[in-house]
């Protein structure tokens, strides 16, 4: 049986991003037969524009994202909160993969959302907006896999989430729920 492939999309482009570290830690928790890969090309994708979304000449970086999402069994979005909502990086990724309308790569894709910010609110506004946009885009949002991390500036100031047992337990549970959703999806096809 082939591996279940989970693609992680991280909404912070910062080299030392805690959101990125959380995605790395989630990858580490993947059980046998599950592969969690961080997508690396989000910074190169132009803002969505219908004028450049032309069959046969879609910008290479956007097409690469569409192909990677189409190849994945499930998506793990890891989002910071910027001004009370999800980062533009992730919204742009959702927009590109939501088109062509009704048949975009994200359509029907089991997707979990993890949010993390420096405030005690744990980026829950960003989380809620990500869930809303994903749902409108046609993704299959896996609510049981949701996870929030607050006060990350303090909690992960001097340690990587992979060294935080509670974070690892939560991330492992999210990955497990997401994988179960992908397998349920496969069975029903």
Chain contacts with ligand FMN (rule: CB under 6 A): 12, 14, 17-19, 80-84, 116-119, 121, 123
Contacts of 11 (CB under 8 A, 6+ apart): 19, 77, 78, 79, 80, 86, 87, 89, 90, 126
Which residue number, 3 or 119, has a Cβ lying nearer to ligand FMN? 119
Which residue number, 105 or 131, has a Cβ lying nearer to ligand FMN? 131
CB of 166 to ligand FMN, least distance (A): 18
| Total length of the chain | 189
CB of 88 to ligand FMN, least distance (A): 9
CB of 36 to ligand FMN, least distance (A): 17
Which residue number, 87 or 98, has a Cβ lying nearer to ligand FMN? 87
Q: Give the whole-angstrom CA distance, residue 171 versus residue 19.
A: 12
CB of 174 to ligand FMN, least distance (A): 17
Can you tell me whether residue 101 is helix, strand or coil?
coil
Which residue number, 7 or 78, has a Cβ lying nearer to ligand FMN? 78
Annotate 148-176 with b (16+ C-beta within 10 A) or e (fewer): bbbebeebbeeeebbebeebbebbbebbb
């Amino acid at each position: 049986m082939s591996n279940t492939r989970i693609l992680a999309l991280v909404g912070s482009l910062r080299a030392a991003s805690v959101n990125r570290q959380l995605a790395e830690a989630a990858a580490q928790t993947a059980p046998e037969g599950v592969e969690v890969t961080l997508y690396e090309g989000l910074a190169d994708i132009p803002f969505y524009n219908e004028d450049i979304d032309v069959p046969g000449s879609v910008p290479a970086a956007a097409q690469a994202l569409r192909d990677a999402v189409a190849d994945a069994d499930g998506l793990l979005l890891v989002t910071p909160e910027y001004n009370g909502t999800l980062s533009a990086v992730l919204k742009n990724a959702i927009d590109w993969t939501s088109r062509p309308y009704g048949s975009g790569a994200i359509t029907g894709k089991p997707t979990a959302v993890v949010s993390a910010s420096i405030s005690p609110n744990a980026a829950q506004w960003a989380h809620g907006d990500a869930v809303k946009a994903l749902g409108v885009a046609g993704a299959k949002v896996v609510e049981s896999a949701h996870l929030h991390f607050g006060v990350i500036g303090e909690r992960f100031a001097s340690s990587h989430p992979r060294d935080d047992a509670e974070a690892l337990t939560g991330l492992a549970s999210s990955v497990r729920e997401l994988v179960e959703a992908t397998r349920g999806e496969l069975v029903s096809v």
